[in-house]
Chain A
Amino acid sequence: MAKAFKHKKRTKPNHSGVGDFFSIFFLILMGSFMALPLVLAISNSLKPLEELFIFPPRFFVRNPTLDNFHDVFVLMSQSWVPFSRYIFNTVFITIVGTLGHLFVASLCAYALAKHKFPGRNVIFWIIVTALMFSTQVTAIPNYLIMTKIGWLDKYLSLIVPAIAKPLGLFLMKQFMEQIPDSLLEAARIDGAREVTVFWKIAMPQVKPAWLTLIIFCFQDLWNLQGSNYIFSEELKTLPYALSQISAAGISRAGATSAVAVIMMAVPIIIFVISQSNIIETMASSGIKE
């Protein structure tokens, strides 16, 4: 009895100090490997030209400057489509796509998780398999389909396929399953319509899942180049425009780093804001056999 009590006090009695030391050492080692390239990208984006091309190269910036960011804007303003247009395109595609995905996928996830109807298991099985469809596998037929329905060179060609991404539906469904049935039943007895139950009762219960879905979808669309489907310069996305700067190579080393920093800042900030919610959602992300 006394022994049991003692164990209860210490949650992890089997962890030796040596083991703790090694795991912290390993974490710091791996953590540096993960973090240093990003730190270098930020440091490089602040380096003036003479610091980018010195021998031997320095890791940290000595005289930080915002010239590189300034260069990006100058370079972009030289193109015949204003820079703000690329920003608008990407922001528009990202917001509409993410919200559309959130709504449509949640609707379907709700029915799959909370309604018993013939075919639901088959549908869910297909969607789990579809987690493995990489975009490259479907790229060519998708191009043909876009041509057929006349969506080529339109925002729709980038937004609509993102709305049907299987990952978001999958996460939503796993999370919706945890909503107690009694909660929904109570609303139904009060005479609420199914859409109302979904929107007013179910959706507020799964807020953490929204945030996760938003960050995944956001990150995909934010980095979408979409050059396969979009030909008009005024419809092209920000990553595409910025990749043109990087493509110029060594002569624009500073501007390239500035571009990388601009592109990575937004998803990282969103991740930091919603981190705890994301982790909560991922806890229910498992695939049952």
Chain B
Amino acid sequence: MNENEKFMAKLLAYMKNKRSNLFREIRKNKISYLLIAPYCILFILFYLVPVCMSIGLSFTYFNILEPARFVGWKNYVDLFFADEVFLKAVKNTFLFAIITGPIGYFLALFIAWMINDIKNSKIRAFMTLIFYAPTISGQAYIVWKYIFSSDTYGMANGWLMKWGLTFQPILWFEDEKFIAPILIIVVLWMSMGTGFLSFIAGLQNVDRSLYEAGYMDGITNRFQELWYITLPAMKEQLMFGAVMTITSSFAIHDQLAALAGFPSVNYAAHTVVSHLIDYGTVRFEMGYASAIATLLFMVMILCNKLVQSLLRKVGK
């Protein structure tokens, strides 16, 4: 009996304590919740709700004028079985994403790695600027339109004709053969981006003593050093760069539309985002466009998971 009472008293004290802890927690957290409130409200309103709405709308027919009408999986079925242009857009997007994504990513990493080896800090800063400038220079990609202009005044045509390699100007952006390769070059040119800066910073932060230890352990060349020491030490930056690259390489559209036209010749530069913009802002078939947006989002998340599991293997 005595023992039981003791236990009850203990339990009560414990609960009281726990309760007061909880109250204190809540009171303390009130400030935390207040601090995050402005951001979270805006974030929910303009990022979270739109993504959920997009998923919801993808099951409807919606043209803004009439109320949305539920149509089930029809939009998705149509996309895959009745929309040849969409399939072409998917093919193009994967072509661009698979070529420009990994190449851009590794090129950025490789170049950041080489820039990091430069001893003079002035030259290092200058090289960083050169590789990052195309990314921040807004619509400067329009200069490629001049380089690959379809008349004799374009750089590429002018030189090819001067050297006698061709006798009449090549219609770069009107010929399906050339559209994709040129655009891939342009996208690569622009895609150093955020990942690149992150890599530069990651490289600078690698603990120097790790290298010393590595030399003791018999690392004999710079590639071993990169794989066994540098990359594992900057895994977090690699991840950040990957997320940025995936997002941007699946969302390619603006550069393509500006250079190859929208819609492009025979849809040669038509990506999933082009298709989304076509249905969303030109045809006002919002339900259908939302289905495209939802698919795009899902593919990006999947890719991200894939890359995450690949990055776990770094340095092993």
Which A residues fall within an 8 A CB radius of B? 4, 7-8, 11-16, 19-20, 23-24, 26-27, 30-31, 33-35, 37-38, 40-41, 44, 52-57, 59, 104-105, 107-108, 110-112, 115, 117-118, 120, 123, 126-142, 144-145, 160-161, 163-164, 166-167, 169, 194-195, 198, 215-216, 219, 222-223, 228, 239, 242-243, 246, 250, 253, 256-257, 259-261, 263-264, 267-268, 271-272, 275-276, 278-289
Distance of A40 Cα from B147 Cα, bound (Å): 9
**B308 x A289 contact (CB < 8 A):** yes
**B280 x A12 contact (CB < 8 A):** no
Instruction: Answer yes or no: B184 CB below 8 A from chain A CBs.
Output: no
The listed residue (A33, A123, A129) touching B189 by CB distance below 8 A is A33
Q: How far is the CB of A243 from chain B (nearest CB, A)?
A: 7
**B39 x A134 contact (CB < 8 A):** no
Distance of A216 Cα from B135 Cα, bound (Å): 11
Distance of A98 Cα from B251 Cα, bound (Å): 23
Closest to A266 in B: B138
Distance of A195 Cα from B30 Cα, bound (Å): 12
Closest to B203 in A: A283
Q: How far is the CB of B48 from chain A (nearest CB, A)?
A: 7
- What are 26 inter-chain pairs, A to B, with CB distance below 8 A? A13-B215, A16-B221, A23-B114, A27-B111, A30-B107, A35-B130, A37-B143, A37-B189, A38-B137, A40-B155, A41-B140, A55-B152, A105-B39, A115-B32, A117-B32, A129-B301, A139-B277, A140-B57, A161-B42, A259-B139, A263-B139, A264-B140, A271-B133, A279-B128, A286-B198, A289-B239
Known contacts A117-B29, A219-B136; is-contact A278 B246 (Cβ 8 Å)? no
**B39 x A282 contact (CB < 8 A):** no
Instruction: Answer yes or no: B74 CB below 8 A from chain A CBs.
Output: no
Cβ of A131: which chain B residues have Cβ within 8 Å of it?
Answer: 243-244, 247
Known contacts A38-B133, A136-B253, A286-B236; is-contact A104 B42 (Cβ 8 Å)? yes
The listed residue (B43, B130, B216) touching A7 by CB distance below 8 A is B216
Cβ of B103: which chain A residues have Cβ within 8 Å of it?
Answer: none
The listed residue (B139, B201, B222) touching A14 by CB distance below 8 A is B222
Cβ of B211: which chain A residues have Cβ within 8 Å of it?
Answer: 11-12
The listed residue (A7, A12, A275) touching B128 by CB distance below 8 A is A275
**A137 x B54 contact (CB < 8 A):** yes
Q: Could you tell me how many residues of chain B have their Cβ less than 8 Å away from some Cβ of chain A?
A: 112
Distance of A269 Cα from B146 Cα, bound (Å): 25
Distance of A20 Cα from B155 Cα, bound (Å): 33
**B201 x A282 contact (CB < 8 A):** yes
Q: How far is the CB of A27 from chain B (nearest CB, A)?
A: 5
Q: How far is the CB of B220 from chain A (nearest CB, A)?
A: 6
The listed residue (B136, B215, B219, B253) touching A271 by CB distance below 8 A is B136
9 extra A-B contacts, CB within 8 A, seeds A30-B111, A117-B32: A7-B215, A14-B222, A37-B143, A41-B140, A41-B142, A53-B153, A111-B33, A167-B194, A275-B129
Closest to B135 in A: A219
Known contacts A15-B117, A268-B136; is-contact A287 B243 (Cβ 8 Å)? yes
Instruction: Answer yes or no: B290 CB below 8 A from chain A CBs.
Output: yes
**A223 x B50 contact (CB < 8 A):** no
Q: How far is the CB of B209 from chain A (nearest CB, A)?
A: 10
**B143 x A111 contact (CB < 8 A):** no
The listed residue (A118, A257, A263) touching B137 by CB distance below 8 A is A263
Distance of A119 Cα from B250 Cα, bound (Å): 31
Instruction: Answer yes or no: B269 CB below 8 A from chain A CBs.
Output: no
Distance of A54 Cα from B115 Cα, bound (Å): 38
Which B residues fall within an 8 A CB radius of A? 25, 28-29, 31-33, 35-36, 38-40, 42-43, 45-51, 53-54, 57, 64, 107, 111, 114-115, 117, 125, 127-134, 136-140, 142-144, 146-147, 149, 151-155, 158-159, 161-162, 189, 192, 194, 197-198, 200-202, 204-205, 208, 211-212, 215-216, 219-222, 224-225, 234-240, 243-244, 246-248, 250-251, 253, 258, 273, 276-277, 280-281, 286, 289-290, 293-294, 296-297, 300-301, 304, 308, 312
Closest to B123 in A: A27
Q: Which of B40, B107, B158 is most buried by chain A, counting CB atoms within 10 A of its CB?
A: B40
The listed residue (B43, B200, B276, B312) touching A166 by CB distance below 8 A is B43
Q: How far is the CB of A176 from chain B (nearest CB, A)?
A: 12
Q: How far is the CB of A20 from chain B (nearest CB, A)?
A: 8
Cβ of B128: which chain A residues have Cβ within 8 Å of it?
Answer: 275, 279
The listed residue (A12, A132, A243) touching B243 by CB distance below 8 A is A132
Known contacts A287-B236, A289-B308; is-contact A141 B136 (Cβ 8 Å)? no
**A286 x B239 contact (CB < 8 A):** yes
Q: How far is the CB of A23 from chain B (nearest CB, A)?
A: 4
Distance of A34 Cα from B191 Cα, bound (Å): 11
**B35 x A198 contact (CB < 8 A):** yes
Cβ of A41: which chain B residues have Cβ within 8 Å of it?
Answer: 140, 142-143
Distance of A284 Cα from B205 Cα, bound (Å): 9
Cβ of B45: which chain A residues have Cβ within 8 Å of it?
Answer: 145, 164
